[in-house]
Structure 1
Amino acid sequence: MCLDADLIKGKMKEIVGEKVDNLHLEETLLTFINEKKHFSFGILAFQHYVAFSGTDFSEILVLAAGIELLILAFDIFDDIEDEDNLSKVWMQTDHAISLNAATSLYSISLQVICELESNIVFSQLALKYALNAMQGQHNDLRNFPETEEECLHMIKQKSGSLTAMSAVLGTMLASGEFNPVIENYSYKIGIIKQIENDYYGLFDKTRSDIRKKKRTLINLFLHRQFNSASNKILNMMKSKSGYYSLISDRTYFEELLYKAGVSQYVLMLIKVYENEINNEIEKLEIKIKLW
């Protein structure tokens, strides 16, 4: 049993075709789906389904596609709210149309996911994780975190809830049971993904994190001003021209991040979470390859 990006994308389009009668909305949604390149959340659900001896390929394909429809909805909401990724087709579409399309994707995805299982806990968890992700996004939008601990909690809600949904529901679809250990470590998978995303986002001038002075983990770490390199990065980030100058020479910027301790800090956090995740997987005695 194997699941790949093409199969997930094809099922996403099939679901939209079945659920949407409005031809223009359907066309818009299919265009947005075509823009999607990564399907790691659906794959994570599949990995856990297989690890817990799930055998019905059709049901896990629907779950993976449903989750990826939800992820796409959140991506569209996030880009419009943050004014990010301006080259995406939904950012070049009338934002009112894009918002309505994202709301449609959100509704379709949860309907499809909840229809998979008669177990009420399955549906309750799907809704819980979706709401938690929105609460995390709300705190991100209002730039709430003032400490690294608060930022990690926000990341757990915003990104961790979606990885938890994928792993937990994939497991439940196979076993019929909720597993708190999987929920716990899958939150950490989401935290790792967001830390990596924030780090590589430093080199992307289309991202709004710097312009909006977002309190990411890296930003909060830099503001502790451990050394002159931290101060230099912060000073250059104060202006658009200074930041563009900084990222124009990637090698120099990477060296400066290393001198500031950012690279080591990010790597340390990732390694800590990876070790915790691997230890919890070993206790479950399941075969699953995440890295």
Structure 2
Amino acid sequence: MNRNDLSDLAAFAVVAEEGSFTRAAARLGMSQSALSHAMKALEDRLGLRLLARTTRSVSTTEAGQRLLRTLRPALDDIAAGLAAVGELREKPAGTLRITTGKHAAVRVLWPVLSRFLTDYPEVQVELSIDSSLTDIVASRFDAGVRLGEQLEKDMIAVRIGPDIRAAIVGAPSYFAQRPVPCAPQDLAGHDCINYRFTTSGAVYVWEFEEDGHPVNVRVSGSLVSNDMDVIMAAVLDGRGLAYIFEDEVAEHVAAGRLVRVLDDWCTPFPGYYLYYPSRRQIPPALAALVDALRYRL
């Protein structure tokens, strides 16, 4: 393999990931025309068409997909080797890309990151807020943050927060017209604000527990949303009952803006974990972040 092959293969992987010559060229720090020429030269040397080009996007052909599946592990090994060399530096440096949900980002990550970024000025953290269960390997993230019950078994997971409880809440104006539910089954007679998952399209089933046994209830109401800020605004306006993490409604409950019900049915469940792929060499910046985020009772 000559030097051009290696650099062109790495560039091909970036083009395939970005699906755009413009974005890939910006990421690689080269002109779009130079990148397009390099990809054409690579295809000519291999005698195969790797990329299908349109006026708006770029996608991989079947041959390109097969090559990409072979390339990614090799490029990961190279990246890990470079990271290992980087350990010789005194301070962690570089960019860490992390996928996380909004609640975890605000309540768990940011209080730690605020100090971490001061302690490690050569580290840049990119947070991608996404409620879906992103494949961090395929999407080239360094790590992800999800609830303990949502983790994939082949990942290294580090606990970064306490157990979490949900709260069923409604505004006083809502309860002025409706009775207080005494059990999850009573929710059938209430206007409940539902949350719809962005990726699967499924509506969240409200989860409770009685004597160690799960009790799941499908609720209905006049509003469904995939954004918790909208649900919070709606419940404060008296539009119905909402199922929200208790730390997000604690101030509203204390101030009397919301009333909490079915408290005894809402038991704690595993909190947030930082997870990342198993590697022989973990990048120094990620190792420092793991240590900073690690939950200590």
TM-score in terms of structure 1 length:
0.26
Q: Looking at CA atoms only, which structure, 1 or 2, has the larger radius of gyration? A: 2
Richer in strand (by share): 2
Higher relative contact order (CA 8 A, sep 6+): 2
TM-score in terms of structure 2 length:
0.26
